[in-house]
Structure formats: C-alpha cells, structure tokens
C-alpha cells in the first residue's frame, strides 16, 4: 500500500469512525469494505482455511465495532485494527487449533529431479507455508505477521505489541527451525536457475 493510499484510507477511517461513534452504524460498512481483504488474508495466514479465515475476520470486525470507542488515536486506525485482529485470531486458534502436522512430519521431496516436477504439480511452496503453522506459537506469529506486512519489521512489531529486537530474534529462530526442516531450500533455488537455463521456460518465475 503506497503512502497516498494509506493517507486516504486513514482520512476515510477517521471520518467513518466519527460517524459510527455518533450513532450511524451504517458508516461501519466503509471500514469493512476497506479492510476486509487485509483482515481475511491475515486470518488465512494464521489458519490456511478459507472458510475459517472469513469467520475469524468477521469476528475481528465485530470486536472492532464493539471496541471502536477504545481506539485512542495514538496509532493509525489500521495499526489498532491489525493488533485487535491478531488478538482475536490468536484466541480463536487457542480455542480451536488448526490441524497441523508436526514440523518433523512436514514432507520434503526426496530428490531434485522429482522436486522440480512436484513444485509444478503440487505447489511445493504450500508445504513450507503450512509448515509455518507447525512452528511453536512464539515463533509462528512473528513469521505470519512479518510476511503479512510485506517484511516490514516495524509494522509487524506494532501489530504484535512487541519490541522490534524481540521480533527480529524470534524471526531468526523461526527461520533456523524452518531451515533445519527444509535443508534443501537453497538447492531448490539453485536447481530452479539451472532449470531456467536449460529449458528457458521458467524465466517468468
């Protein structure tokens, strides 16, 4: 999201919040329309289940509606909304955890030759994304939010309400755990380059 859009959204949020607090419930629709995409995508990264992501996002909007008067305008509306949504998603997933394999059980292709085809056929990247859900909670959430915020460490730290240094340390540990589980990741990148040179088909990737 660029700075101009962000400023426009902020203005629109302020106006809508003021209207809602003045008693116009319908004004909340503007907020839902603007933030439905980000909140659903954030929930998706937490659970990787589309239906559940929408339910969790709906719950987050309802909590935002109920707690709108608690937003103290110390941070932007989006920062407040993301932090609230993260709290909702965290507690929802504590109540009803997603079914995930343990990290050690996440499959990895046996060899490079088959790996290349499996990347094509079965979306091997999805395996790594799902493996994130098998990380311990203290490492999982920093990973989810860091990549959701397009690798903006400060934004992820604000959403988690955590110092940037702590978040950075947890990210580093999470990456180390993923590297241990998927030791051939660097090979995959190398193999993809070779594949590109040989076939010329993969240049668009």
Cα 10 to chain centroid distance, Å, stands at 21
Q: Give the x-and-dash track for 110-139 against other proteins (CB under 8 A).
A: ---------------x--xx--x-------
With contacts defined by CB under 8 A, name the span among 11-19, 56-64, 97-105, 153-161 that binds other proteins: 56-64
HSE-CB of 201 using CA atoms within 13 angstroms = 4
Select from 104, 171, 196 the least CA-distant residue to 188.
Answer: 196
Does 66 interact with other proteins (rule: CB under 8 A)? Answer: yes
Distance between CA atoms of residues 197 and 134, nearest Å: 35
CB of 100 to other proteins, least distance (A): 16
Q: Which residues contact 62 (CB under 8 A, 6 or more apart)?
A: none
Distance between CA atoms of residues 181 and 72, nearest Å: 43
Distance between CA atoms of residues 19 and 90, nearest Å: 30
With contacts defined by CB under 8 A, name the span among 4-12, 133-141, 177-185, 195-203 that binds other proteins: 177-185
CB of 197 to other proteins, least distance (A): 17
Does 178 interact with other proteins (rule: CB under 8 A)? Answer: yes
Does 86 interact with other proteins (rule: CB under 8 A)? Answer: no
Q: Give the x-and-dash track for 18-47 against other proteins (CB under 8 A).
A: -------xx-xx--xx--xx--xx--xx--
CB of 64 to other proteins, least distance (A): 10
- Cβ atoms of 83 and 161 within 8 Å: the answer is yes
CB of 9 to other proteins, least distance (A): 16
Distance between CA atoms of residues 13 and 80, nearest Å: 12
Distance between CA atoms of residues 121 and 112, nearest Å: 14
Q: Where do contacts with other proteins occur on this chain (CB under 8 A)?
A: 25-26, 28-29, 32-33, 36-37, 40-41, 44-45, 50, 53-54, 57-58, 61-62, 65-67, 70, 125, 128-129, 132, 143, 147, 150-151, 175, 178-179, 182-183, 185-186, 188-190
């Amino acid at each position: 999201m660029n700075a101009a859009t962000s400023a426009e959204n902020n203005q629109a949020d302020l106006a809508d919040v003021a209207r809602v607090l003045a008693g116009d419930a319908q004004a909340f629709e503007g907020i839902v329309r603007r933030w439905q995409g980000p909140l659903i995508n954030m929930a998706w990264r937490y659970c990787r289940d589309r239906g559940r992501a929408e339910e969790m996002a709906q719950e987050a909007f309802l909590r935002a509606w109920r707690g709108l008067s608690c937003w103290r305008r110390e941070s932007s509306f989006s920062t407040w909304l993301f932090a609230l949504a993260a709290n909702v998603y965290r507690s929802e997933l504590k109540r009803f955890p997603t079914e995930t394999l343990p990290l050690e059980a996440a499959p990895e292709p046996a060899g490079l030759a088959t790996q290349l085809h499996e990347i094509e056929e079965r979306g091997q990247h999805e395996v790594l994304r799902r493996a994130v859900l098998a990380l311990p909670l203290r490492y999982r959430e920093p990973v989810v939010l860091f990549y959701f915020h397009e690798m903006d460490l400060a934004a992820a730290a604000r959403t988690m309400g955590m110092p940037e240094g702590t978040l950075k340390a947890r990210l580093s540990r999470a990456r180390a755990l993923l590297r241990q589980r998927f030791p051939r990741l660097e090979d995959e990148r190398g193999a993809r380059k070779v594949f590109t040179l040989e076939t010329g088909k993969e240049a668009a990737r």
